[in-house]
Amino acid sequence: MYKERTVPVFDHSTVKITKEEALLLYEDMVLGRKFEDKCAEMYYRGRMFGFVHLYNGQEAVSTGVIKSLRLGFDYICSTYRDHVHALSAGIPAREVMAELFGKETGCSKGRGGSMHLFSAKHNFLGGYAFVAEGIPVATGAAYQSLYRRVVLGEKDFDQVTVCFFGDGATNNGQFFECLNMAALWKLPIIYVVENNKWAIGMAHERASSQPEIYKKASVFNMEGYEVDGMDVLAVRDVAQKAIARARAGEGPTLIEALTYRFRGHSLADPDELRSLEEKEFWAKRDPIVRFSQYILENNLATKEELEAVDKKVDEIIQDAVLFAENSPEPSPNDLFRYVFADD
């Protein structure tokens, strides 16, 4: 019989959320899910190429954390599973889809593709193809925020950086080195481990001598929390507390979000390693289904209003596909453009 690590229980009676906030969170998660489903369709129809890693099932983590930030001010650093992080950060679905199609109108001008989404406008520091590659980048971004406030005297500058990575990254050297520096210097950064149980085909419990990742924070005298990554309100609560600590100059936080990806590692993965029993266990904890039930049970919105959001998202995604299909390819004349910063 499949057994899973006990998930922390969140007290929903303590939640304070308005109808507008609830609908914003719901729309963001639905957008992420439907966008990824459309990506799978486009990939198998030969409209996208290379490796494409989808985020289905993990939407509560992206939405709960990123929608708690000051978008356009705080920094966000992603992984190769970056589409939904980019959407939550406010990058238009048109620009993300166009990038996946390799078009000039994409957020990385068609040069990055699925694993290298980037937007300076949205302070989205990119997706990274290599495991743990974004952790030093995010740590550096947090350092410059501290430098501006402490050394340059910008006393009201309280920028925060959020760094996402998977459970597999927590066994890499960058993870330990950067968490050590962040703790020593009290950097305004939140490290978010999206523990979806599998590092490609390696089960997490077989790869780490300490599978409860949040406990690794204690080595660095850092705050560490585990949270139900399939509950957007639980994620939002712990994220808001960590962000407040960072803004107040109280240092970094490590958050382990216990979540699950509903698809294989990538769209090229036949997903034969995980048992059907395991998949069914996590499917019953679908974050979008759970949150929609919460909304209805607490009279935050009606079924018709949620259906209207679903329809709105369908239209956004259809528009994004049409935009991507009709956008121009990058010009061969610009082959060396964007390699270095323009003068």
Q: What is the mean pLDDT of the chain?
A: 96
What is the rounded distance in angstroms from the CA atom of residue 122 to the CA atom of residue 167?
26
Q: Using the predicted structure, report yes or no on whether residue 33 has a pLDDT greater than 80.
A: yes
To the nearest whole percent, how much of the chain has pLDDT over 90?
91
What is the rounded distance in angstroms from the CA atom of residue 241 to the CA atom of residue 226?
13
Mapping DSSP to helix (H, G, I), strand (E, B) and coil, where does residue 58 land? coil
Total length of the chain? 343
Q: Supply the pLDDT for residue 343.
A: 66
pLDDT tier at 201, thresholds 50, 70, 90 = confident
At 56-89, the pLDDT tens digits run 999 999 999 999 999 999 999 999 999 999 999 9
Q: CB under 8 Å to 94, separation ≥6 — which residues?
A: 105, 319, 320, 323, 324
Averaged pLDDT for residues 30-48: 97
Q: Supply the pLDDT for residue 4.
A: 86
Q: Supply the pLDDT for residue 99.
A: 98
What's CA 115's distance to the chain center, in Å?
13
Cβ contacts of 279-283, under 8 Å, gap ≥ 24: 281/2, 281/4, 282/57, 282/230
Vertex 200 angle, CA 195 and 202, to 5°: 80
More confident residue, 147 or 5: 147
Averaged pLDDT for residues 131-142: 97
Among residues 107, 4, 29, 36, which one has the least CA distance to residue 266? 36
Going through the chain in order, the beta strands assigned E by DSSP cover 75-77, 161-166, 189-195, 198-199, 202-203, 223-228, 253-258
CATH (residue range 14-324): 3.40.50.970
What is the rounded distance in angstroms from the CA atom of residue 216 to the CA atom of residue 207?
14
* Cα-based distances in Å from 98 to 80, 88, 258, 272: 17, 17, 31, 31
pLDDT tier at 281, thresholds 50, 70, 90 = very high
Mapping DSSP to helix (H, G, I), strand (E, B) and coil, where does residue 91 land? coil
The residues spanned by each domain of the chain are: 14-324
To the nearest whole percent, how much of the chain has pLDDT over 70?
100
More confident residue, 343 or 337: 337
pLDDT tier at 49, thresholds 50, 70, 90 = confident
Averaged pLDDT for residues 280-292: 97
pLDDT tier at 137, thresholds 50, 70, 90 = very high
At 140-182, the pLDDT tens digits run 999 999 999 999 999 899 999 999 999 999 999 999 999 999 9
What φ, ψ does residue 9 adopt, rounded to 5°?
Answer: -90, 125
Among residues 322, 298, 189, which one has the least CA distance to residue 254? 189
